Amino acid sequence: MTASKHQRSDRVGVYICYCGGNISDHVDVEKVRADVEKIPGVAVARTNMFMCSDPGQELIIEDLRQGRIDRVVVASCAPSLHETTFRGAITRAGANPYIYEHANIREHVSWVLHGDRATAKAEKLVAAAVGKARLLEPLQPIRVEARRHVTVIGGGIAGLKAARVLADRGLEVVLIEKSPFLGGHVARLDRVAPHGEKAADLVAELARSVLEDEAITVLTRSQLVGFDGYVGNYDLRVRAVSDGDGEGQGTYVPFRGVSGGTPPELTIETGAIIMATGFRSYRPRRGEYGHGDHAEVVTLPEFIRRFSMAESADGTLVLDGRIIRSIAMIHCVGSRQIPGIHEEDAEGRLNEYCSRVCCSAVLHAACRIRERFPGTRVHDLYRDIRTYGRDQEELYQRASGAGVVFYRFSPEEPPRVTAAQEGAAGQDFPLRVTVRDGLTFGEEVEMGVDLVVLATGMEAAQVGDLVAMMKLPVGSDRFLQEVHPKLAPVESSVAGVFLAGTAQAPMTIGEACNGAAAAAVKAASLLGRGYLELDPFVAEVDPDLCQGTGDCVRACLAEGALEMVEENGHARARVVAARCLGCGACVAVCPTGAIDLKGWSLKQYEAMVDMIVADLAEST
């Protein structure tokens, strides 16, 4: 620490914004300017209608270039909106962007206070900012080496796509898949909506190109068991998924064979992680639409699998040797659940979201049944038809054209699936579906069927272990959550961890691939230069003051951010800047004041408090 550290600047420039009336309607901006101008250390104080506009920024740039100021305070909206704008302006003027302090006089003042109180509070906040700004030091962003290596977790279509794009961008990739197979749920589909490609072709083509690529290492039957490090430098531990028995090599496991043994744990040094862990299909409760009570009630994934082995009897569908003359398909099973109407699961949760793919998947299946087996009737029971994407609405139309009959039910009164009564008229079917049909003017209608297909939706994959280990945020729907649904749609709040595909929300194959490609490109651009620049607002130890008590290490919230090292035979605390959160917990406990935060030092706080309690008129 140099002596200059606590020298105060006396060339602070203050720029106060009208925000087009947003601020100036309640704060007397010109009075603030006149009073602030008199504060010691303030060299210039200016106002502008919109400080963020080009002419506004130009004021700052010009004063810096002319050497009139060497510290900048802008009083305007919340720093989340424009802090980077003004730091950018300072950089363009050729100065260090960290000589900047922000006073929020919109959200904190003009939107909540009026009249003299607003003006008085604005003056206090600006004065405090000036107090701090006088003590600001130029800082350099923390530069950390970054490994040009990404680990993708999950080998479904999203994980495969992410790996493919990353390798194309020249990065090394490890793909970790817990099952023995690549392809995820898509590998369990037949032809896929809306265009009818073979799922097998999509998966096989992509998986082959991934397996053949030397830049991609594929680890199947593997799971992540350890996560350490920080953005650009994560250390992962991966272990083989045991078959449950944990048998050592050479052990004979009855009815399974001789265990090949579990390969040792391995460590992966990587720079970023893409979570592509996918979804889990909803499993109906016993008795939900007769599931579990009647063998003829199956879920859509089960049906798709059986239908791929369909046979025909004179144009009528035959499944597993049984002639299927009539099928009812029920939408929204396990999705769009409503509190008070639907039953909660064992953990007291409901799936209130729409699963988004089931409408198209069920209609696609309905079309294929009718087009290949005109002797088989299809009854489609929906709440709403949500065929929302390109070429999906056409599926709805195509299903109508193919003779599918639709019924609309309300969630309060869902269809009932019961065993047909012996000998009742028109009831030579094993099951009977009864529904109060909105399309038939709210009347009850009933149909005899050989099979009921439940369009079961998507649930979040069970990745609680990873969520806990990596501290990933999860939405109320239990899917992994992005930072911002629009502006940061594939970023998680953990730096260097990205989201791809249905790990994040229900998506079609195309959407999952979009998300995966976006996540891959984000990761590639993060690591592409081989180093990262992080904000410099981290703890700093003064080795002359440090007594080596280690209090700070115990108080630290970020694992590995502080460590004790030997320096000239003495124990001293050292900060690992890339891991430090800048929270200040260490500063509060250090008995000698040896540790401080760059850009938010105790002295700077004291200066702010001094300015808040000072009588402005007096100090001038």
Partner 1 sequence: MTLVTPDFVEELQQYGDDTVLRCFNCGTCVAICPLINDSFPRRLIRYIQIGARDRILAGGRDLWQCLHCGLCSRTCPRQADPAEVILSLKRLVLAAWREEDTKNV
Ligand X SMILES: Cc1cc2nc3c(=O)[nH]c(=O)nc-3n(C[C@H](O)[C@H](O)[C@H](O)COP(=O)(O)OP(=O)(O)OC[C@H]3O[C@@H](n4cnc5c(N)ncnc54)[C@H](O)[C@@H]3O)c2cc1C
Of 395, 406, 312, residue with least CA distance to 361: 395
Q: In the structure encoding, which two tokens stand for residue 178, read together?
A: 């817990």
- Judge residue 462's burial from the number of C-beta atoms within 10 Å of its C-beta, 0-12 exposed, 13-18 middle, 19 or more buried: exposed
Span of 229-237, 421-429, 435-443, 461-469 interacting with ligand X by CB under 6 A:
461-469
| Side-chain-side CA neighbours of residue 449 (13 Å) | 26
Task: Write the interaction track for ligand SF4 spanning residues 348-367; mark x where CB under 6 A is met and - where it is not.
Answer: ------xxx-xx--------
Question: Which backbone phi and psi does 226 adopt, to 5 degrees?
Answer: -145, 140
* Contact assessment for residue 557 and residue 539, using Cβ atoms and an 8 Å cutoff: no
Span of 176-184, 254-262, 286-294, 559-567 interacting with ligand X by CB under 6 A:
176-184
Q: In the structure encoding, which two tokens stand for residue 254, read together?
A: 């009855």
Regarding 441 and contact with partner 1 (CB under 8 A), the answer is yes
Regarding 461 and contact with ligand X (CB under 6 A), the answer is yes
Regarding 577 and contact with ligand SF4 (CB under 6 A), the answer is no
Q: Which does 79 bind (CB under 5 to 8 A by kind): ligand SF4, partner 1, ligand X, none?
A: none
Q: In the structure encoding, which two tokens stand for residue 262, read together?
A: 């579990």
DSSP string, 294-324: BTTEEEHHHHHHHHTT-EEETTEEEETTEEE
User: How near is the Cβ of 326 to partner 1 at its closest, in Å?
Assistant: 8
In one-letter notation, the amino acid at residue 173 is V
From 36, 64, 210, 276, residue interacting with ligand X (rule: CB under 6 A): 276
Q: Which does 440 bind (CB under 5 to 8 A by kind): ligand SF4, partner 1, ligand X, none?
A: partner 1
Regarding 336 and contact with ligand SF4 (CB under 6 A), the answer is yes
Regarding 179 and contact with ligand X (CB under 6 A), the answer is yes
Q: Between residue 369 and residue 398, which ones bind ligand SF4 under the rule CB under 6 A?
A: 384, 386
Regarding 580 and contact with ligand SF4 (CB under 6 A), the answer is yes
From 13, 56, 97, 156, residue interacting with ligand X (rule: CB under 6 A): 156
Span of 289-297, 397-405, 457-465, 533-541 interacting with ligand X by CB under 6 A:
457-465
Of 430, 499, 617, 552, residue with least CA distance to 159: 499
* All residues at 6 or more sequence positions from 433 whose CB lies less than 8 Å from its CB, including other chains: 328, 379, 381, 415, 416, 417, 446, 447, 449, 452
CA–CA distance, 357 with 355 (Å, rounded to integer)? 6
Q: Which does 156 bind (CB under 5 to 8 A by kind): ligand X, ligand SF4, partner 1, none?
A: ligand X
From 74, 165, 193, 575, residue interacting with ligand X (rule: CB under 6 A): 193
Regarding 152 and contact with ligand SF4 (CB under 6 A), the answer is no
Q: In the structure encoding, which two tokens stand for residue 510, read together?
A: 């195309």
Q: Which does 335 bind (CB under 5 to 8 A by kind): ligand X, ligand SF4, partner 1, none?
A: ligand SF4
Span of 163-171, 302-310, 364-372, 555-563 interacting with ligand SF4 by CB under 6 A:
555-563
CA–CA distance, 192 with 200 (Å, rounded to integer)? 10
Residue whose structure tokens are 């594929």: 218
User: Which one, 365 or 518, has the nearer CB to ligand SF4?
Assistant: 365
Span of 47-55, 479-487, 554-562, 598-606 interacting with ligand SF4 by CB under 6 A:
554-562
* Contact assessment for residue 385 and residue 455, using Cβ atoms and an 8 Å cutoff: no
Segment (H or E) for 269? strand 266-270
Specify the DSSP class assigned to residue 155.
Answer: -
Rg, the chain, Cα only: 32
User: Which one, 509 or 562, has the nearer CB to ligand X?
Assistant: 509
From 557, 565, 571, 609, residue interacting with ligand SF4 (rule: CB under 6 A): 557
Residue whose structure tokens are 């100036």: 24
* Contact assessment for residue 561 and residue 615, using Cβ atoms and an 8 Å cutoff: no
User: How near is the Cβ of 528 to ligand SF4 at its closest, in Å?
Assistant: 27
User: How near is the Cβ of 361 to ligand X at its closest, in Å?
Assistant: 4
User: Which one, 247 or 446, has the nearer CB to partner 1?
Assistant: 446
Specify the DSSP class assigned to residue 437.
Answer: E
Q: Which does 128 bind (CB under 5 to 8 A by kind): ligand X, ligand SF4, partner 1, none?
A: none
Span of 87-95, 178-186, 288-296, 442-450 interacting with ligand X by CB under 6 A:
178-186
Q: In the structure encoding, which two tokens stand for residue 551, read together?
A: 């209090």
Q: In the structure encoding, which two tokens stand for residue 547, read together?
A: 């007594």
User: How near is the Cβ of 354 to ligand SF4 at its closest, in Å?
Assistant: 3
From 18, 289, 396, 498, residue interacting with partner 1 (rule: CB under 8 A): 396
What is the CA angle 277-278-279, rounded to 5? 130
Positive or negative torsion for Cα 371, 373, 378, 382: negative
User: Which one, 402 or 467, has the nearer CB to partner 1?
Assistant: 402
Residue whose structure tokens are 């002295």: 603
The 3-state DSSP class for residue 519 equals: helix
Span of 183-191, 248-256, 429-437, 577-585 interacting with ligand SF4 by CB under 6 A:
577-585
Regarding 403 and contact with partner 1 (CB under 8 A), the answer is yes
Number of amino acids touching partner 1 (CB under 8 A)? 25
Regarding 442 and contact with partner 1 (CB under 8 A), the answer is no
Q: What is the largest CA-CA distance in the chain?
A: 101
Positive or negative torsion for Cα 589, 590, 592, 595: negative
Q: Between residue 367 and residue 386, which ones bind partner 1 under the rule CB under 8 A?
A: 377, 379
Binding site for partner 1 (CB under 8 A): 326, 377, 379, 396-397, 400-401, 403-406, 408, 425-426, 434, 437, 439-441, 443-448
Q: Which residues bind ligand X (CB under 6 A)?
A: 153-159, 176-179, 184-186, 189, 192-193, 223, 276-279, 281, 300-301, 304, 357, 361, 364, 458, 461, 463, 466, 501-502, 507-510, 512
